[in-house]
Amino acid sequence: MFNLIANTYSWATSKVKDMTGVLGGNAKVVISTQLFFSVPVVWFSTYWSLYLVELGAGKEYIGYLASVLVAVQVLVSFFSVFLVERFGHKRTYIIVSFICWPLSMLVYAFTGNIFVASGAIIINSMFMLGDPSFVFLYLKGVKKKSTHSGFSVLNILFTAASFFSPIAGIFINKLGIIDGGRIVFIIGAILMSLAVAIRTFLIEDVESKRTKDGVYASFIKYKSVFMSFISNSYLLKIILIDTLMVFNLTVINTFSAIYLTDKSTVALDSSLISYFPAIYAAFNIILSLFVVPKIKLRETRKYLQLSMIAGILAWVILLLAQKGNFWVVTVSYALHGFWFAMYFPLIMGILVNSLKKDSKTISFSIINVITLSASVPAGAIAGRMYILNPKLPFIMVTIVYIITLLLLGKFLQAKNKG
């Protein structure tokens, strides 16, 4: 398994080098440092819930905490534009990245208190403050005609970090969730600090209109851009699709590790679940390299439908997995990788190209608010469902994929008639 992961990563790295020829400026800086950032994110997202459960948190508490995290992301999304107008894209991104990732991870690693750990996770969830700035700093090095490829490369690098997930599994296997998790989080915080330091010196700021306007003035601008959304039915439909997928990801990211290690469900050893992000990454990268760049604009919605079918199959297979069946779960995560490889670059490309140039920062912030607001109850609902039956949250996930597939079909039919 390690040889397969290593060979796939080496091959993917060589392909990414070929694709990055069309990218320059900030994009190259981001790409060269992305693994220092993405690897700790994968480690943290894989084990944070298990770590908190080991500290004594219950499944329902985890669900409610997940809802709080999404609610915090909604609230801070309102203020991302305000920060950019005051401090610019670069300063906003650097400060937010350092506080919300390496600093909060160190607090999480060293505390043995559930509530302090929860506070660290809440601070971590505020990274959305810098999300619009990251997108526009990255796009400074990407030509408009290469937007799909630019996001595809970024997706590959986010995903390639999962090849290093088994490293965290080794520490967990040898030292347990608490001690092993602490070492993993500390190493992750160091790597992220290096990435932030390098980007501080090498990334060039993006020109943005800086003002001394207060929060109220920023909300007036929000209202103006939001009203323009109302008249754009095409954009509203894309936002609806993305909202449903964010809802699903909230449930998946919160409860998948708990479900896989639950003695009443799949009952896998906690160290084994570190392999699944790597398996997910392998299929994601193959599709991102060979399929996504060849997708024509008129084919976008068809491939989005295919991604939803893959998502449905992924979670149906997981629900049917028997105790200790590693390989069935492997198939599930391979299909999950197919879903994300198709979905992320296509939906981001549509959104970026559908927004007005002079209001993209505010538009991204509003989209984040809309998609996250609908996902606020996701964790709490899934937590209650998990107590009743561990399978229920993932049955809900599957139903949401089916609904999204049907909506895409209806949207296609409407567009064809038009």
Q: For 195-244, how does the pLDDT look when each residue is reduced to its tens digit (9 = 90+)?
A: 999 999 999 998 765 555 555 566 677 778 888 888 888 888 888 999 99
For residue 19, what pLDDT band results from cuts at 50, 70 and 90? low
Residues 6+ apart with CB under 8 A from 274: 46, 165, 166, 167, 168, 169, 172
User: What integer best gives the mean pLDDT of the chain?
Assistant: 85
Average pLDDT over residues 261-277: 92
Q: In this model, does residue 152 exceed pLDDT 80? A: no
Share above pLDDT 70 across residues of the chain, in percent, rounded to a whole number: 88
Question: Pseudo-torsion of CA 305, 308, 314, 316, nearest 10°?
Answer: -110
More confident position, 368 or 184: 184
Q: In this model, does residue 20 exceed pLDDT 60? A: no
Lowest-confidence range among 5-19, 160-174, 282-296, 364-378?
5-19
Distance between CA atoms of residues 13 and 21, nearest Å: 13
Sign of the CA dihedral 89, 91, 95, 101? Answer: positive
Query: Which domains, from first to last, does the chain contain?
Result: 19-204+230-417 (1.20.1250.20)
The answer to whether residues 364 and 134 touch, using CB atoms and an 8 Å cutoff, is no
- What pLDDT is attached to residue 17? 54
DSSP H or E stretch at residue 184: helix 165-202
Reading the block at residue 149, the tokens are 């490829």
| Per-residue buried b or exposed e for 368-383, using 16+ beta carbons within 10 Å of the residue's own CB | bbbbbbbbbbbbbbbb
Average pLDDT over residues 154-173: 87
- What pLDDT is attached to residue 18? 56
Distance between CA atoms of residues 243 and 70, nearest Å: 12
C-alpha 333 chain-centroid distance: 15
Share above pLDDT 90 across residues of the chain, in percent, rounded to a whole number: 47
C-alpha 330 chain-centroid distance: 20
Lowest-confidence range among 235-244, 293-302, 323-332?
293-302
Average pLDDT over residues 345-357: 78
More confident position, 384 or 20: 384
Residues 6+ apart with CB under 8 A from 123: 99, 100, 103, 104, 107
- What pLDDT is attached to residue 223? 78
- What pLDDT is attached to residue 173? 92
More confident position, 12 or 69: 69
Q: In this model, does residue 317 exceed pLDDT 90? A: yes
For residue 418, what pLDDT band results from cuts at 50, 70 and 90? very low
Question: Pseudo-torsion of CA 357, 358, 361, 367, nearest 10°?
Answer: -70
Return the DSSP state at 101: I
Cα–Cα separations (whole angstroms), residue 89 to 135, 184, 209, 346: 10, 30, 10, 25
Instruction: Tell whether pTM > 0.75.
Output: yes
Q: In this model, does residue 321 exceed pLDDT 70? A: yes
Lowest-confidence range among 347-351, 355-359, 375-379, 413-417?
413-417
Q: In this model, does residue 289 exceed pLDDT 90? A: no
- What pLDDT is attached to residue 86? 82
Angle at 94 between CA 89 and CA 98, to 5 degrees: 150
70, 363, 319, 344: which is closest to 221 by C-alpha?
A: 363
For residue 409, what pLDDT band results from cuts at 50, 70 and 90? confident
C-alpha 34 chain-centroid distance: 14
Average pLDDT over residues 121-148: 83
